Amino acid sequence: MQMENNYEEMTKALIEGKEDEVKKMTREALDKGAEPKSILDNGLLAGMDVVGKRFKAGDMFIPEVLLCARCMHGAMDILKPLLSDGDALGAGTVVIGTVEGDLHDIGKNLVAMMLQGGGFKVVDLGTNITPQAFVEAVKEHTPQIVGMSALLTTTMPKMEETIEALKEAGVRDGVKVMAGGAPVTQDFIEKIGADAYGANAAAASEKAKQLLN
């Protein structure tokens, strides 16, 4: 019961964006003998799950979510060396990037953050990513999901080119493809043959989980 209370306090502090408190509670839980995986699942991810739901409902906003993510990252810096490969963020791996010709990254970064908060390992390729760079990243990291972002109508066609490049490389069938960004729509997703559309960062994280269930 004592540790359950600690996890509840940790979750509450994370939701309130109290980075120093979350890191302190993480160290204290370890000192009391808690397993790193248990701290991750019951304290940190439980908190980020609430953050994701509140963000989607419009009850939290980007600056608050960023504070919560900072709490998560600070605690993970403590836990990562103690987690086994099998214990580390285990929801799956996502390779994500903004497509070639597009340098916008705020939306992509927010999605990456929500995915991490949802338990995914995220390989963030950055911006202006060519179709071939996506292919190479899939070969190197063997993700379950590829996420593409575009903020410009002029760069949206690169999403379809990337999917075609994945097909030509023989790796398309091994991954689910998600796409999002201000000009992207469900109709566009269906037209280019992607698997899912994330209307916003919280929705993208939920879609990613649904794709792997």
Q: What is the pLDDT of residues 56-112, one digit of tens each?
A: 788 988 889 888 988 988 998 898 888 765 555 567 899 999 999 999 888 888 888
204 pLDDT exceeds 90?
Answer: no
pLDDT at 90: 67
- Average pLDDT value over all residues in the chain: 89
Which pTM was predicted? 0.72
Q: What is the pLDDT of residues 139-184, one digit of tens each?
A: 999 999 999 999 999 999 999 999 999 999 999 999 999 999 889 9
pLDDT top residue among 209 and 134: 134
Distance from C-alpha of 51 to C-alpha of 66, rounded to nearest angstrom: 10
pLDDT at 85: 59
pLDDT at 22: 96
pLDDT, mean of residues 107-122: 83
